[in-house]
Structure 1
Amino acid sequence: MEHEQRSQARLSPSGDTQDIAAILAPRLAYFAGVARTEHVTRAAQEMQVPQSTLSRALVRLERDLGVDLFARHGRTVSLTPAGRTFLTSVERALAEVERAAEEVRADVDPASGKVAFGFLHTMGFETVPGLIRAFRVDHPRVRFSLVQNYGEAMIERLRAGELDLCLTSPVPDAPDLVARRLDEQRLRLVVPDDHRLASRRRVRLAEAAEEAFVTLEPGYGLRRITDDLCRQAGFRPRIAFEGEEAETLRGLVAAGLGVALLPPPAVPRPGVAELTVTAPRAAREIGVAWRAGIPDTPPVAAFKRFLLSRRGHLLPD
């Protein structure tokens, strides 16, 4: 009697929903099985549980809900109006649980599972499609959820568990992450094709100290690298425009609105000249990062091994 009062108290309108779910959840499948067969013995046989276990579970379920779900007729049972109402929601809930279970099992399947992979915008035109194409030679059915973003935003999503791996720059150094350097990408000083430096193949960055720069917004890894390289060259860049995407900056340069430090384009852009920077050494490291202490699913582990095997050969020549 005391136990019954405690159960009813937990299931009162003012009770905690999570407590209610914890009490009811193990019994819902039993309820649905008996409702389907309208026979306790037959349901117990189908579900391969002792009939006594099933009977006790139903009695406790009705007691905890405070309503009769079944009308008993000897060895058979039939749903009461309350039972029919409850069954509709129970079947929907069980179907959703089954769907969720199938989805997570599918995501970790070694052959056809899913990898949530983040990467920089500048990696999206050529590098990442090439990597995935090469990986799928041996793993043709692995699926990818792809996210393009700037470095800090990707690290946030990685920490939130929304990404399994991310390809980023600079390579992060944090205790909750594991990161491995994969490659290095040279940066170029991009100038309009009618610029005073356009006829040069090589240039010292200090020669652009008086120029207006177009750069990515603060928070982007390439922006931090640009500011640091200019500092090493002895000046602070005069920022004319800030953007969110490297090829947009290249377009601004072509329009004569400034110069920029950018990685090589996937496709040559008319209207600009791309100059090798001899001093300081202008390059950015590209690395892969993942959360420390989080076990990999088989498809994530396979793609991680693949990326690490490309160390030094990640980027197109």
Structure 2
Amino acid sequence: MIHAVAYDSSSDQVNLPVEQAELSSTSPAARLSPLLAQFAAVARGEHVTRAAAELGMPQPTLSRAVARLEAELGVVLLAREGRTVRLTRAGRIFLASVERALAELERGADAARAEADPTGGRVAFGFLHTMGSEAVPMLLRGFRAQLPRVRFQLVQDYTDSMLARLREGELDLCLLSPRPDAPDLTARRMGEQRLRLVLSTDHRLAGRRRVRLEEVAEEPFVTLEPGYGLRRITDALCAEAGFSPRISFEGEEAETLRGLVAAGLGVAVLPPASVPRPDVVELTLASPSARRELALVWSSTRPLPPPAVAFRDYVLSERDRLPLHS
């Protein structure tokens, strides 16, 4: 016997042989979504018994599920004909939308599985501009030689922005400076760089090898914008030397600052250039604090997807071979 929905042929109302329950205050989509696949299984074959067997659920439970769906919609979706059921016109219209919704859900599930595939998923990786010319290409080249199907979303940004995006889940990993100290973040030291005072070749101190920062206290500085870790270090070094820097330009990229120094717009505190420029000189700063620590950072509160775990482990294994030490 098929325990399907009982219909009154003289009315569009549905007589439900199911327990009545209070309607949930949740949205219609939230209430209907668990029932859609069950309705689609019945509607495709227009047979409750076979659909119940396919779904691995008792026939009466499936009949009640379809009846509940009709009650939520307020329309008849299936009409009983002997041992089978057939779709009403409203049922055919609704089934078309249900099939599209289920197909979209399946595509979403496939995309989610692909994203987490340890050999072919995606890694969202942020890094400082100064890491983009040498260190990051080395890491990507080496890692892709092992797992060529892994895809990367690469973001160059300043430290504060990357940490915010890391906390929001937009990024999996960040290579940045200074090393953050926060309970919701995990940071592993990657290296340390001595910072240099960058001058134009015709600067009065250009012939020196070592200099104190206070010797340029009266000169204009070109610096990175607020929010960059290197800007905070520069401000702290100037405060340590007893002055507040007079800023002539704030930029986003170290090589731009070097070009402006060469043009005589000021001096800059920067890490060593990966490729020396002939139009500037880089002097050692006397202060022991003139250094920056580089760190690989990820969230402590959110698990990393498998491809990001693989990349994190690779980066940590390569830290002694990267150009992150000076």
What is the identity, as a one-letter code, of the residue corresponding to 1:72?
Answer: R
1:119-165 deviations in whole A, cap 9, x for unaligned? 11111122111111112232222222211110000110111111111
- Given that 1:127 and 1:315 are in contact with CA atoms closer than 8 Å, whether structure 2 keeps it comes out as yes
- The whole-number CA distance in structure 1 between the counterparts of 2:199 and 2:288 is 18
Report deviation, 1:235: 2.4
Indicate whether 1:224 and 2:232 are aligned. yes
Percent identical among aligned pairs is: 65
Indicate whether 1:182 and 2:190 are aligned. yes
- The whole-number CA distance in structure 2 between the counterparts of 1:79 and 1:255 is 78
- The whole-number CA distance in structure 2 between the counterparts of 1:100 and 1:226 is 46
Q: Alignment partner for residue 50 of structure 2, among 37, 42, 45?
A: 42
SS of corresponding position for 2:286: strand
Report deviation, 1:287: 0.3
| Greater Cα offset, 265-274 or 241-250 | 265-274
The two structures have a TM-score, normalised by structure 2, of 0.87
What is the identity, as a one-letter code, of the residue corresponding to 2:188?
Answer: R
- The whole-number CA distance in structure 1 between the counterparts of 2:236 and 2:57 is 68
Q: Alignment partner for residue 272 of structure 2, among 256, 264, 267?
A: 264
- Given that 1:233 and 1:280 are in contact with CA atoms closer than 8 Å, whether structure 2 keeps it comes out as no
| Residue 6 (structure 1) aligns with | 22
- Given that 1:254 and 1:270 are in contact with CA atoms closer than 8 Å, whether structure 2 keeps it comes out as no
What is the identity, as a one-letter code, of the residue corresponding to 1:218?
Answer: P
Q: Alignment partner for residue 292 of structure 1, among 291, 296, 300?
A: 300
- The whole-number CA distance in structure 1 between the counterparts of 2:229 and 2:314 is 24
What is the identity, as a one-letter code, of the residue corresponding to 1:107?
Answer: E
SS of corresponding position for 1:299: helix
SS of corresponding position for 1:137: helix
| Greater Cα offset, 174-183 or 268-277 | 268-277
Structure 2 residue runs of 5 or longer lacking an equivalent are 1-15
Indicate whether 1:116 and 2:124 are aligned. yes
Q: Alignment partner for residue 244 of structure 1, among 252, 256, 262?
A: 252
What is the identity, as a one-letter code, of the residue corresponding to 1:240?
Answer: S
| Residue 72 (structure 1) aligns with | 80
Structure 1 residue runs of 5 or longer lacking an equivalent are none
Report deviation, 1:51: 2.9
- Given that 1:142 and 1:299 are in contact with CA atoms closer than 8 Å, whether structure 2 keeps it comes out as yes
SS of corresponding position for 1:194: coil
- The whole-number CA distance in structure 1 between the counterparts of 2:29 and 2:73 is 11
Report deviation, 1:69: 0.8
Report deviation, 1:254: 1.7
CA RMSD of aligned residues (A): 2.2
Report deviation, 1:16: 4.0
What is the identity, as a one-letter code, of the residue corresponding to 2:94?
Answer: F
- Given that 2:294 and 2:324 are in contact with CA atoms closer than 8 Å, whether structure 1 keeps it comes out as no
Report deviation, 1:310: 3.0
1:77-101 deviations in whole A, cap 9, x for unaligned? 2222221222222122211211111
Report deviation, 1:267: 3.3
| Greater Cα offset, 48-57 or 229-238 | 48-57
- The whole-number CA distance in structure 2 between the counterparts of 1:146 and 1:90 is 37
| Residue 254 (structure 1) aligns with | 262
Report deviation, 1:3: 5.9
- The whole-number CA distance in structure 2 between the counterparts of 1:189 and 1:3 is 79
Q: Alignment partner for residue 145 of structure 1, among 143, 149, 153?
A: 153
Indicate whether 1:202 and 2:218 are aligned. no
1:42-87 deviations in whole A, cap 9, x for unaligned? 3333334333332221112112221101122223322222212222
Report deviation, 1:268: 3.2
Report deviation, 1:294: 2.3
Indicate whether 1:279 and 2:282 are aligned. no
- Given that 2:193 and 2:324 are in contact with CA atoms closer than 8 Å, whether structure 1 keeps it comes out as no
What is the identity, as a one-letter code, of the residue corresponding to 2:273?
Answer: P
| Residue 139 (structure 2) aligns with | 131
**Count of aligned positions:** 309
Report deviation, 1:171: 0.4
SS of corresponding position for 1:196: coil
Indicate whether 1:310 and 2:326 are aligned. no
- Given that 1:184 and 1:312 are in contact with CA atoms closer than 8 Å, whether structure 2 keeps it comes out as no
The two structures have a TM-score, normalised by structure 1, of 0.89
- The whole-number CA distance in structure 2 between the counterparts of 1:232 and 1:312 is 31
SS of corresponding position for 2:22: helix
